[in-house]
């Protein structure tokens, strides 16, 4: 997959792309990326990329000409173009999986109060939100998207750890422990040091159900578990395993 990110501050993203796992994925040819400074496509001598809003209102808006020139240069008409915005479709693991199958992805990062609507109408295929809050920059949201997407590209992360991760299988992760077995008077659940793999798997599944029920019952909608969920947890608890 090739990821092109259009931004007024591409240097914010460079460190992220040069981080360990991403750098290894790039070295292995699984991912390639281009960081484009939108200001390079501004035509006036001051390289102006923003202007006041028609109809008035606070702040400035990103001008359409530099954006469309940068998008055309990036091949936007032959790619999936994602604009990260609070007003977009809510991003989640399934959406990340869908985007991970794209050969070419262009991410558009806004600044100021956003971008001219005509650019969205002409080029943007997906307006995506990472949550109901307004950030100081689109770059932060773009890094969240890239991090969630590139991990799902075959070969980037080993299959086993990916399979076990939160949201894979639609449940939150179980509690995890490592050495020492006794830390600050707190021990590790006996089942995890029992060596009984079936009991460990049952305990972990029960913990995933409990945590999902507590924090994200919405993830269980439509799983056919709603009615039986509590009974299932009770049954797992009675069968043993803490």
Residue 141 in contact with ligand 9WO, rule: CB under 6 A: yes
How many alpha carbons fall within 13 Å on the CB side of residue 216?
12
Instruction: Tell me if 42 contacts ligand 9WO by CB under 6 A.
Output: no
- The phi, psi pair for 237, rounded to 5°, reads -65, -45
C-alpha torsion 73→26→89→119, nearest 10: -10
Interaction of residue 114 with ligand 9WO, rule CB under 6 A: yes
Which of these ranges, 48-56, 84-92, 172-180, 219-227, lies near ligand 9WO under the rule CB under 6 A? Answer: 84-92
Residue 84 found at the interface with ligand 9WO (CB under 6 A): yes
Kindly state the smallest distance separating residue 78's Cβ from ligand 9WO, in Å: 24
Interface residue with ligand 9WO among 26, 35, 100, 135 (CB under 6 A) is 135
Sole binder of ligand 9WO in the list 122, 129, 166, 237 (CB under 6 A): 129
Nearest by Cα to 152 from 210, 94, 198, 108: 94
Give the Cα separation of 188 and 201 in Å (integer). 15
Size of the site for ligand 9WO (CB under 6 A): 17
Q: Phi and psi for 29 in degrees, rounded to 5?
A: 75, 15
53 binds ligand 9WO (CB under 6 A): no
Among 93, 137, 166, 237, binds ligand 9WO (CB under 6 A): 137
Query: What residues have CB less than 8 Å from 36, skipping those under 6 apart?
Result: 4, 5, 6, 7, 10, 70, 73, 74
Would you tell me which residues interact with ligand 9WO (CB under 6 A)? 84-87, 110-114, 129-131, 134-135, 137-138, 141
């Amino acid at each position: 997959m090739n990821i092109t990110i259009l931004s007024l501050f591409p240097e914010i993203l460079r460190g992220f792309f040069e981080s360990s796992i991403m750098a290894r994925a790039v070295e292995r040819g699984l991912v390639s990326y281009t960081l484009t400074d939108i200001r390079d496509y501004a035509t006036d001598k001051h390289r102006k990329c923003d202007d006041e809003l028609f109809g008035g209102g606070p702040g400035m808006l990103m001008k359409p000409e530099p954006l469309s020139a940068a998008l055309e240069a990036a091949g936007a008409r032959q790619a999936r173009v994602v604009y990260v915005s609070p007003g977009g479709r809510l991003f989640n693991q399934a959406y990340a999986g869908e985007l991970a199958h794209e050969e070419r992805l262009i991410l558009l990062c806004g600044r100021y109060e956003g971008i001219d609507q005509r650019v969205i109408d002409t080029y943007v295929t997906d307006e995506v939100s990472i949550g109901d809050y307004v950030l100081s920059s689109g770059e932060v949201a773009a890094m969240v998207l890239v991090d969630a997407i590139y991990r799902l590209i075959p070969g980037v992360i080993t299959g086993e750890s990916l399979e076990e991760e939160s949201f894979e299988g639609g449940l939150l992760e179980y509690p995890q422990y490592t050495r020492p077995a006794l830390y600050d008077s707190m021990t590790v659940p006996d089942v995890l040091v029992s060596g009984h793999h079936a009991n460990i798997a049952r305990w972990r599944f029960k913990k995933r159900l409990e945590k999902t029920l507590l924090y994200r019952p919405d993830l269980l909608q439509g799983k056919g578990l709603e009615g039986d969920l509590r009974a299932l947890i009770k049954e797992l608890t009675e069968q043993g395993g803490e």
